[in-house]
A and B are shown apart, each in its own frame.
Chain A
Amino acid sequence: NAGVTQTPKFQVLKTGQSMTLQCAQDMNHNSMYWYRQDPGMGLRLIYYSASEGTTDKGEVPNGYNVSRLNKREFSLRLESAAPSQTSVYFCASSEVQAAYEQYFGPGTRLTVT
């Protein structure tokens, strides 16, 4: 039981490049989330998916797209990376039967030069 896994762990991109961050959970949770963590800003919600087939914008969605591929997987795509997207990205999941207690992955550290 791995919980929430994220790939890659680290990534360096040049401005304008694209990439997809992958997230998977093996807890059979319906809800999944993407956050970014920046010094002085805390964790902010980018997008979330309440259930398979649905996605909604969070607090800071600009510059990102998401795909809820199936119940297990929720990916985050940067179409044209910008230095302002340098951050640590966390994926999380939760389930209503567990009062929406959120479980987090280990994070992806992204640098855009």
Chain B
Amino acid sequence: KQEVTQIPAALSVPEGENLVLNCSFTDSAIYNLQWFRQDPGKGLTSLLLIQSSQREQTSGRLNASLDKSSGRSTLYIAASQPGDSATYLCAVGKTSGSRLTFGEGTQLTVNP
């Protein structure tokens, strides 16, 4: 059974800092990996999707990498801003390419 772990569970940083969020998974036979953002009381917003054949994806100040062999992904946020404060969730898709297994998330606070 796939298990997804996100460390740390919570992170507080000053504005402007570059930071890395970590995600690890136990079964390397994945189809894709998706990073989401969730604001309090809201739904999930997709940030980046990495397919199993890819090593990284970038969107603005965000960069996600994938190392299938070691079962790890990182989300890099450059020049953090208070508006980046949210919970960031990592989810791994099965080889059948449909169902996602989620980590519990990292709660990020960026202080002005």
Mark A residues whose CB is within 8 Å of B. Answer: 31, 33, 40-45, 48, 50, 58, 90, 92, 94, 96, 99-107
- Decide if A104 touches B44 in the complex (CB within 8 Å): yes
* Least Cβ–Cβ distance between A91 and chain B, in angstroms: 9
Binding site for A on B (CB under 8 A): 31-32, 34, 36, 42-46, 49, 51, 89, 91, 93, 97-105
Q: Which residues of A contact B32 (CB under 8 A)?
A: 99-101
Please give me the residue from chain A that is nearest to B45 by CB atom: A104
CB distance from A23 to the nearest CB of B (A): 12
**A94 contacts which chain B residues (CB < 8 A)?**
98
Q: Which of A50, A92, A94, A105 has the most chain B CB within a 10 Å cutoff?
A: A94
Q: How far is the CA of A50 from the CA of B101 in the complex (A)?
A: 16
CA distance A48 to B44 in the complex (A): 17
Complex formed: what's the CA distance from A101 to B100 in Å? 10
CB contact between B49 and one of A31, A41, A99, A106 (< 8 Å): that residue = A99
Contacts of A100 in B (CB 8 A): 31-32, 93, 97-98
Q: Are A104 and B43 in contact (CB under 8 A)?
A: yes
Q: Are B42 and A102 in contact (CB under 8 A)?
A: no
Closest to B102 in A: A43
Question: Which residue of the partner chain, among B46, B49, B91, B97, contacts A96 with CB atoms under 8 Å?
Answer: B97
Asked if A105 contacts B43 (CB within 8 A), the reply is: yes
Q: Are B104 and A90 in contact (CB under 8 A)?
A: no
Given that A99-B49, A100-B93, A101-B49 are contacting pairs, would A58 and B99 also be in contact in the complex, using a CB cutoff of 8 Å? Answer: yes
Complex contacts, A90 vs chain B, CB 8 Å: 43-44
Q: Point out the residues of chain A lying under 8 angstroms from B89, CB to CB.
A: 42-43
Asked, given contacts A45-B99, A45-B100, whether A99 binds B51 with beta carbons under 8 Å apart, the answer is: yes
Tell me which residues across on chain B come within 8 A of A31, comparing CB atoms. 98
A107 B46 Cβ-Cβ under 8 A: no
Chain A min CB distance to B103 (Å): 7
Chain B neighbourhood of A101, CB < 8 A: 32, 34, 46, 49
Smallest CB–CB gap between A65 and chain B, Å? Answer: 19
Q: What would 24 A/B residue contacts be, using CB atoms closer than 8 Å?
A: A33-B99, A33-B100, A40-B104, A41-B104, A42-B103, A42-B105, A43-B91, A43-B100, A45-B99, A90-B43, A90-B44, A92-B44, A96-B97, A99-B32, A99-B51, A100-B97, A101-B32, A101-B34, A101-B46, A102-B46, A102-B91, A103-B46, A104-B46, A106-B42
